[in-house]
């Protein structure tokens, strides 16, 4: 699944949640975040929830193409490691 928006906020949670429910029906939840430049805490909470659900049901979870701005946001709230974001 590729996220097309460049900024994700609480106003996007409901629509993104519905997309994640569809994605969760598969054996894998791979999300391409190459367009995303900014996320707020509500989106981070949604991603953590999806990651936890995938882990509990032995499904693959992966965030792809995360730019440095989003990586920095995830690092600032100590969620980078939890979400499997690799950075140097």
The pLDDT profile of the chain, 88 residues, written as one tens digit per residue, is: 999 999 999 999 999 999 999 988 888 999 999 999 999 999 999 999 999 999 999 999 999 999 999 999 999 988 888 888 865 4
Q: Specify the 3-state DSSP secondary structure of 5.
A: coil
| The predicted structure's pLDDT at residue 15 | 96
Residue 2 to residue 56: CA distance in whole angstroms: 23
| The predicted structure's pLDDT at residue 80 | 86
Question: Which sequence spans correspond to the domains of the chain?
Answer: 7-76
pTM summary value: 0.89
| The predicted structure's pLDDT at residue 87 | 54
| Listed residue (59, 72, 74) closest to 28, CA to CA | 59
Residue 58 to residue 56: CA distance in whole angstroms: 6
CATH code of 7-76, in short, is 3.30.750.24
């Amino acid at each position: 699944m590729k996220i097309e928006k460049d900024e994700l906020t609480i106003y996007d949670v409901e629509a993104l949640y519905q997309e994640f429910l569809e994605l969760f029906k598969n054996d894998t939840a791979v999300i391409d975040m190459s367009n995303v430049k900014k996320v707020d805490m509500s989106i981070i909470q949604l991603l953590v929830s999806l990651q936890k659900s995938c882990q509990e049901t032995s499904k693959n979870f992966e965030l792809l193409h995360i730019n440095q701005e989003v990586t920095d946001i995830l690092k600032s709230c100590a969620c980078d490691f939890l979400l499997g974001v690799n950075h140097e």
